[in-house]
Chains A and B, each alone.
Chain A
Amino acid sequence: MENLVQIALQNVNMAAILPSLILTCFGMGLLLINVFLPRGTTRQAVWISMIGLVVTGFFVFTGWGNPQYGFNDAVALDNYAAFFNIIFLFAAGLTILMSDDYLHREGYPVSEYYPLILFTTAGAMWMASGTDMMTIFLGLEVMSISLYVLAGFFRGQVRSNEAGLKYFLLGAFSTGFLLYGMALIYGVTGSTKLTEIGIYLNGHASLLENPMTLAGLVLLSIGFLFKIAAAPFHMWTPDVYEGAPTPIAAFMSAGPKAAAFAAFLRIMEYCFFSLKPEWTAMLWVLAVLTMVIGNVIAISQTNIKRMLAYSSIAHAGYALVGMVAANEIGYSGLLFYMLAYTFMNIGAFAILVLAGKKGEDNLTLEGFSGFGFKRPFLGVAMTIFLFSLMGLPPSAGFSGKFFIFAGAVEAGYIWLAVIGVLNSAVSLYYYLRVMVYMYFRDPVEDYAWVSLPAAAVISIVIALIGVLYLGIIPGDVMELAKLAIF
């Protein structure tokens, strides 16, 4: 018995979960502190959670290039996980900075909001560093359950209730598929460890034709494709983004989506590398479908938040192209793109947060008439973010798309790259239309209610710096992304 305990303890390596451990500690500490703070004070919670994110970021940076494995190889904090951790930290930090004044404006100054974001981030980190299906599942659930609460956070607003409930029902439904896929794969290979599954499948060629393996692969993929909002599992996205608090919609489109990509790519690469022709063929179709559906439906949207939701579906499609390419530049392009997308999309949502009125944060295109001249700083920032979302140089969106499509061309998927570029051209229409309203329509309102709280401005400035830096000097980060992939 003692011997067993010793063996178990030897396999524990706290360094492998250090970033998420720190975040969880900060989150739980914050929950305790909240009890002693008077109602309606959230400033301290913002500070403490930002300190938590910075401390975690410090440990992630210092751990770069020094991979840690622990818990019987169930967790690996390698460069791949570290790169994604940085994405999650940026997403969480930018979201928290833009949230505080928004929560006060909307009448929900509840500081439990911040620990929930920290827990979501910690769950995302477990997903990125999980090398065992159990770790990935637990990370996914920690992330999702916190997000269900956040999506339904404004409990007096029916729209928010509806978003939370819809996200919950569909999320739990997709978890069922994911788990059944995991069970079938476990049944075929007798292990839940990703590397062992991969080696076993590679060594038993007959299993690759086995319907149970293929069913497991498909069910597993459905679970992840739901989380990354790929068509045809995208139906929840516009509804949930529209109803959820705007900062949470921004966060969901960046952090958790990147986490799902992280776990999905790792599972595909570790477990199913022997089935690569099959799953790349499947993802080829889904990537095209996702890009087309996202972009075409976004054209007809008049609500900007809903339009950004469809655009986030389209961007998931671009990122899937990187997975289909399945080569070095495609994978590292995917990592780069997730970081770029975090900056540009959260930046665009931050403008929406500031431009909205109490209870009317769903801006229509008309509501943006003349916004650019009345509020020059926000107008210019929105323009840069929209240019980046379109993929025009010199912005992060351009470099990201360039790497991804270069990967697709290098892997021989010329048509896929062509379809991707055509889709970007379609997306020009609906992004440019926002700018037309901002600059070429006479203002109907004076936007007197738009204030510029310092925290939100910092968040927008960080996002701007990120977009321009990744756009003008993409080489450095791309080198890091190349070191991060397997």
Chain B
Amino acid sequence: MISVYHYMSVAAILFAMGTYGVLTRRNAIVIFMCIELMLNSVNLTFIALSRHLQSMDGQIFVFFVMTVAAAEAAVGLALMITFYRNRDSIDVDDMNLLKL
């Protein structure tokens, strides 16, 4: 029997993977994908808990999270394109103009 704890565990593992990816990857797009992974693990948590608690709030929250993630992706990819045009790279190691 798969319980809410299984879902929560999967979500926690996904979240940890996303966090690890953000901290170790160097390509801005891959980092952004890892962030999306984190947001989706949150969505999974919300859905599982919503089902477990028999309350709709969590599912409504997920709609908002997905909408916001889409808007964020639009802005984020646009920023990456402008950066790529000027630097011919989207490697975060090349974001080095602003340092001490």
> A and B: real partners?
yes
> 0/1 per residue, A159-200, Cβ < 8 Å to B?
101111110110011011001101110110011100000000
Measured in the bound complex, the distance between the Cα atoms of B47 and A76 in whole Å is: 27
B residues less than 8 Å from A158 (CB atoms): 83, 86-87, 97
**Contact, CB under 8 Å: B38 / A176:** yes
Majority SS at the chain A contact face: helix
The distance in angstroms between the C-alpha atoms of A268 and B78, with both chains bound, is 35
Q: A152-B79, A168-B75, A190-B55 are in contact. Are A179 and B65 (CB under 8 A)?
A: yes
In Å, the complex CA distance between A483 and B92 comes to: 47
Q: Cβ of A172: which chain B residues have Cβ within 8 Å of it?
A: 32, 35, 72, 76
Q: For the side of the interface on B, what is the size category?
A: 35 or more
- Residues B83 and A162 in contact, CB atoms below 8 Å apart: yes
Contact B79 A148 (CB under 8 A): yes
Q: Which residues in window 60-100 of B have CB below 8 A to A?
A: 60-61, 64-65, 68, 71-72, 75-76, 78-80, 82-83, 86-87, 92, 95, 97-100
Whole-angstrom distance between the alpha carbons of A149 and B86 in the complex? 16
Most chain B CB neighbours (cut-off 10 Å) among A157, A175, A179, A183:
A183
A349 contacts the other chain (Cβ, under 8 Å)? Answer: no
Closest residue of chain A to B44, judged by CB? A183
- Contact for B39 among A138, A176, A242, CB less than 8 A: A176
A162 with B82: CB separation less than 8 A: no
A180 lies within 8 A of B75 (CB): no
A169–B99 CA distance with the chains assembled, in angstroms: 17
Interface flags, A285-307, vs B, CB<8A=1, else 0? 00000000000000010000000
- Cα–Cα, bound, A34→B82 (Å): 23
Q: Are B82 and A155 in contact (CB-based, < 8 A)?
A: yes
Q: A186 and B61: CB pair below 8 A?
A: yes
| Complex partner residue of A168 from B58, B61, B65, B76, CB under 8 angstroms | B76
Whether B32 contacts A191 by the Cβ 8 Å rule is no
A239 at the interface (CB under 8 A from B): yes
Q: Which residues of B contact A165 (CB under 8 A)?
A: 28, 79-80, 83, 95
Closest Cβ neighbor of A163 among chain B residues: B98
A126 to chain B, nearest CB (A): 12
Which size bracket describes the interface of A in this complex?
35 or more
- Give the chain A neighbours of B95 by CB distance below 8 A: 162, 165-166
Q: Evaluate contact between B39 and A179: CB separation under 8 angstroms.
A: yes
Once A145-B71, A161-B86, A162-B83 are accepted as A-B contacts, the answer to whether A134 and B42 lie under 8 Å apart by CB is: no
Inter-chain contact A145/B83, CB cutoff 8 Å: no
- Return the CB mask of B5-44 against A: 1 if under 8 Å, else 0: 0001000000100110010000010011001001101100
A269 proximity list for chain B (CB < 8 A): none
**Contact call B86/A134, Cβ cutoff below 8 A:** no
Q: Determine which of B38, B55, B98 lies in contact with A159 in the assembled complex, contact meaning CB atoms within 8 Å.
A: B98
Query: Is B98 a contact partner of A176 (Cβ separation < 8 A)?
Result: no
CB-CB under 8 A from A157, the residues of chain B are: 86
Interchain CA distance A187-B87 in the complex, whole Å:
44
Residues of chain A lying within 8 A (CB to CB) of residue B39? 175-176, 179
Contact between chains at A183 and B75 (CB < 8 Å): no
Instruction: Say yes or no for A366: interface residue by CB 8 A criterion.
Output: no
Chain A residue with the shortest CB-CB distance to B86: A158
Query: Residue on B with the closest CB to A132?
Result: B57
Contact of A176 among B18, B46, B64 (CB under 8 A): B18
Q: Judge whether A359 is part of the interface by a CB distance below 8 angstroms.
A: no
Cβ contacts under 8 Å, A238 to chain B: 98
**With A and B bound together, what is the CA distance between A137 and B87 in angstroms?**
33
Instruction: Report the nearest A residue to B94, measured CB to CB.
Output: A162
Q: Are B41 and A180 in contact (CB under 8 A)?
A: yes
- Closest B residue to A164 using CB positions: B79
Cα-based distance from A346 to B86 in the complex (angstroms):
30
Beyond A134-B60, A149-B75, is A183–B32 a contact (Cβ under 8 Å)?
no
Give CA–CA (A462, B18) in the complex, Å.
Answer: 46
- A163 to B98 CA separation, bound complex (whole angstroms): 8
Q: Judging by beta carbons under 8 Å apart, are A183 and B71 in contact?
A: no
- The reply to whether the CB of A407 lies closer than 8 angstroms to some CB of chain B is no
Give, as a whole number of angstroms, the nearest-CB distance from A415 to chain B. 31
Structural contact, B86 and A186, CB atoms closer than 8 A: no
Assuming the contacts A165-B80, A176-B18, A239-B98, asked whether A184 and B45 have C-beta atoms less than 8 A apart, the reply is: yes
A sample of 22 inter-chain contacts (CB < 8 A) reads: A134-B57, A145-B75, A158-B83, A158-B87, A161-B82, A161-B86, A162-B83, A162-B95, A162-B98, A168-B79, A172-B35, A172-B76, A173-B22, A179-B39, A179-B42, A180-B41, A182-B61, A183-B61, A186-B61, A192-B58, A192-B61, A243-B98
Which residues of chain B have a CB within 8 Å of any CB of chain A?
8, 15, 18-19, 22, 28, 31-32, 35, 38-39, 41-42, 45-46, 49, 52-53, 55, 57-58, 60-61, 64-65, 68, 71-72, 75-76, 78-80, 82-83, 86-87, 92, 95, 97-100
Nearest 5 A/B pairs, CB to CB: A176-B38, A239-B98, A187-B49, A183-B45, A161-B83
Question: A148-B76, A165-B83, A169-B22 provided; 7 other pairs, C-beta below 8 A?
Answer: A158-B86, A168-B76, A175-B72, A176-B39, A183-B46, A186-B49, A187-B45
